[in-house]
Amino acid sequence: MAKILFRLRQVPEDEADEVRQLMDDHAIDWYETSAGRFMISFPAIWLRDESQEDRARALLEEYQRARTQRVRAERAEREANGELETLAQRIVANPAATMLVLLAIAFIFYISITPFLSMVLR
């Protein structure tokens, strides 16, 4: 019976490709289900043979540990080089979107608090 190994929802494509390659490199029999046309299905990598689960999980755990270290090191390097975008840089790069978000927040705050203010001011 098939056994789920790795959920693909919200997973970067490069990570999914690396997991697929990892399974192929270690001759683990797997298949993939997609999210489907309307993105409501269950995208995942499944094992065809449950007897391979322990080995596949151990490989996946080691891969994820190594990937976490690699990604953290890359981020630290980008941060040290000043390549990470700050909030101020995002605001300067797209002031119209920033204003729209602030207006939406103010509007939601206004409609949320108006009923209470009308009771207090009576």
What does the alpha-carbon distance between residue 12 and residue 6 come to, in Å, rounded to a whole number? 13
Residue 65: its pLDDT value, please?
98
Q: Which positions ≥6 away from 31 have C-beta within 8 Å?
A: 2, 45, 46, 48
pLDDT in tens, 47-65: 999 999 999 999 999 999 9
Note the CATH number of domain 3-80: 3.30.70
- pLDDT band at 3; cut points 50, 70, 90: very high
Phi, psi (rounded to 5 degrees) for 82: 75, 25
Residue 66: its pLDDT value, please?
98
pLDDT in tens, 64-112: 999 999 999 999 999 899 888 889 999 999 999 999 999 999 999 999 9
- pTM for the complete prediction? 0.70
What does the alpha-carbon distance between residue 96 and residue 100 come to, in Å, rounded to a whole number? 6
